Structure 1
Amino acid sequence: MSLFWERLPEPVILLTIIFIIGICQQNVSTKELPTYVPICKRTDRNLNECFKKATMIIRPYITKGIPELQIPAIDPLMIPMVMLEQGTQAVNYKAKLRNLKVYGLRNYQFNDVKLDLNKLTIQGKITVPMISLESDYEIKGRALVVPIQGMGIFKANLTDVKSDIMIEVKVVKKRGDEYLEPKKINTKFTIGNAMANFDNLFNGDEKLSKATNSFLNGNSKDIVDEIKPAIETLIAMLAEDIGSKVFDSTPYSKLFPK
């Protein structure tokens, strides 16, 4: 079970994400890192710079997926289902996104990285110029003062996406070796601009759909602020999913040799 189910923010009543490959893996065996993955020694005085450089070197590989580590492609990132339910005074809704495709993650950039292997923490500032989303949707609820209901195709563009991530790990012994394991992950993010479109709102009422989408986009900053807890939890769960697969397949001594 993901550690995030224990700490969902109060406004987020429910956030369920079903991955193609679940966070918990069964029968995982120790694997050698692919030769193209850079190795940063834990004694390196320039460890932060080494790790930052490594994130760029592996970017084209993680974009397509790394089968050896059971990591699926991140561009597009495919998520079969996301279910959201939130209740606040400003935003109250139930939504289901199916076959969610996330485009643009291949252009991620780590602007700052800080590794402290004594405290077992990893901090990073990540930017992505633009992220595009597309999925089938079902939604019913209210955003600010406007009711929203329908099912169809959802599309959105997010620009200047920035995320601060803090990962705490712990060392665990298994399979006769030491491995890292995510202990706690916190994320904060900002978006420069967001534009979205829900087609077929209100049973295909074109006039009402157009007015609702226009209102949502005109107030996108306020709406994004309201649903931030859900999005930040989603980012953290994705980070845990990828991190868990890397950590669980490769011993600490091979990830960061002395």
Structure 2
Amino acid sequence: MYLLIKSILIFCVFFTISDAVIHDLPSYFPRCKRYDPKLSECLLKATETVKPYLIKGVPELGVPAIEPYVIPEITLEQGTQALNFKALLKNVVVKGLGSYKFSQFDFDVPNLQWFCKATIDNMDLTGDYTVTGKILLAPIEGKGKFVAGIANSNITAFQKVEFVKKRGKDYVRPVNTTTTIEVGGPKVHLDGLFDGNEELNRVTNTVINDNVNELFEDLKPVIQQIITNIVEQWLFRALEDNVPFDKLYPRVLTQAVYYPRCYRDDPDLNQCLLNATEQVRPFLQKGVPELNVPPISPFYVPEVNLQLGTEFISYKSSLTNVIVTGLDTYKFTKFDFDVKKLLFTGAVTMGKINIKGNYSIKGKILTVPIEGKGQLDTTVVSSNGSLVQQAKLVTKKGKIYLESEKTKIYIDVGEVKSKMDGLFDGNEVLAKAADNVIKENLQDIIEEVKPAIEEVFTQIMEGILFKSVYRIPYDKLYPLHNQKS
């Protein structure tokens, strides 16, 4: 079982470093790109593509053959009520690792986390052993040959890493590694127990196999910790010392990586742009560090200041540490680009959006004073929006770029549910009265504050999304057909 987890984790690690030595990487190894929306699918396919090469070994990458897989020595030690022993395994030969099948292989790039899930069928292990101790209160002692078999195994491996700077480049090193294993149909036979006493040897083997599932559960935490320590050391050496992160998963700053190529002289340009809004969703969800685009769900806003003075509502309000979830529920029904006028127009519907953060407010709603600070929790069940942007062309360092000249976002909000803790320093009577006024007049309040909300969204879109996308030259963002790249 030790060997099983070690092998699976080596597979996980191996595919994460397959781009590390790209100048020496064999041509038959797949290349998986960092911001490919199908990165997990690419990695999953890679585990099958490289299987025949892993079975034989890849000497140029220092990867030994996995069929059979040989480990010189393993030390096991356990001290519980069921198991209290020390064992040394040598010259261990594992057969069957080539039957591995990954069902999941994910790399969360923004959070620098890997997660692998795999199964292995029908593994056989043979080797030499020495053991001394107790199993289920019965003594066990001897040395000789062992044979073990596992009908099926389910393994998961998770690892979190962090950046470390070396020689002016970013490398990664492990922060936390965890593994789990579940096995079915394990069997073990030890020859040579008790100096060859056949009866004691038979009885002990019978006790072990009659209780093998329970014994393995008792031993599993030890095995998993051994594997975790080995893999962390192996990863630390392989990744931090040898592989810059930009080679591990290459940084590709090209429009084609995250955005479909839509030609500005294409008669179906608008349909292409509409399709693009769906295709870029996975990137927007996780963020695009290359363009300084943060994740949109959750979307973090450090501070928003609102102020309004009308006959109906008069207030000053500040929101801080705002977390917005649900922005990735967007669905564009229109996204048009008038190339001659450099004018963008769009229409979008949104699903449920939740807004949480700290607030402070002082003012009046109708004739009722409102004051307080605390936690805000608002849910917008549905909404519709439209976008109008007038762009212009500017020249920077000999290249032409788009730049926003004027942007306006319009919002129509459906059902809204809102809760504000801390009004009037916790005075429940005043807080309830203010809350009732807000609920009874919520739609009117929304109409009054809508211009301020629209302005905030406009600033966010201009300052983050458009400004980031417009870092790509115009002829690459919206090229002409037959244009030389």
Under a length normalisation based on structure 2, what TM-score does the superposition of the two structures give?
0.46
CA contact (8 A) 1:200 1:206 kept: no
Q: Does 1:194 align with 2:416?
A: yes
Shift of 1:112: 1.2
1:186 is aligned with what amino acid? Answer: K
Name the counterpart of 1:3.
none
Shift of 1:34: 5.2
Q: Does 1:81 align with 2:303?
A: yes
CA distance in 2 between counterparts of 1:123 and 1:99 reads 31
Over aligned residues, Cα RMSD in angstroms?
A: 1.4
CA distance in 1 between counterparts of 2:292 and 2:411 reads 27
Name the counterpart of 1:23.
none
- Segment drifting more, 71-80 vs 211-220: 211-220
1:146 is aligned with what amino acid? Answer: V
Tell me which of 279, 297, 303 is aligned to 1:57.
279
Q: Deviations over 1:93-141 (max 9, x none)?
A: 1111110111110110101122101110110001101211101111110
Name the larger-Rg structure: 2
Q: Does 1:253 align with 2:484?
A: no
Q: How many residues align?
A: 228
Shift of 1:159: 2.0
Q: Which has the higher contact order (CA 8 A, sep 6+)?
A: 1
Name the counterpart of 1:182.
404
CA contact (8 A) 1:144 1:223 kept: no
Give 3-state SS (helix, strand or coil) of 2:257's partner: coil
Name the counterpart of 1:26.
none
Shift of 1:148: 0.7
CA contact (8 A) 1:34 1:68 kept: no
2:263 is aligned with what amino acid? Answer: K
CA contact (8 A) 2:255 2:261 kept: no
Name the counterpart of 2:342.
120
1:69 is aligned with what amino acid? Answer: L
CA distance in 1 between counterparts of 2:409 and 2:338 reads 18
CA contact (8 A) 2:298 2:323 kept: yes
Name the counterpart of 2:204.
none
Name the counterpart of 1:222.
444
1:199 is aligned with what amino acid? Answer: D
CA distance in 2 between counterparts of 1:36 and 1:113 reads 17
Under a length normalisation based on structure 1, what TM-score does the superposition of the two structures give?
0.85
Q: Deviations over 1:179-231 (max 9, x none)?
A: 00000112211011112111111110123212321221221110001111101
Q: Identity of counterpart residues, as a percentage?
A: 37
2:466 is aligned with what amino acid? Answer: G
Give 3-state SS (helix, strand or coil) of 1:35's partner: helix
CA distance in 2 between counterparts of 1:245 and 1:37 reads 13
Shift of 1:145: 2.5
CA contact (8 A) 1:93 1:140 kept: yes
1:209 is aligned with what amino acid? Answer: A
Give 3-state SS (helix, strand or coil) of 1:73's partner: coil
CA contact (8 A) 1:196 1:213 kept: no
Give 3-state SS (helix, strand or coil) of 1:43's partner: coil
Consecutive unaligned residues of structure 1, counting only runs of 5 or more, are 1-30
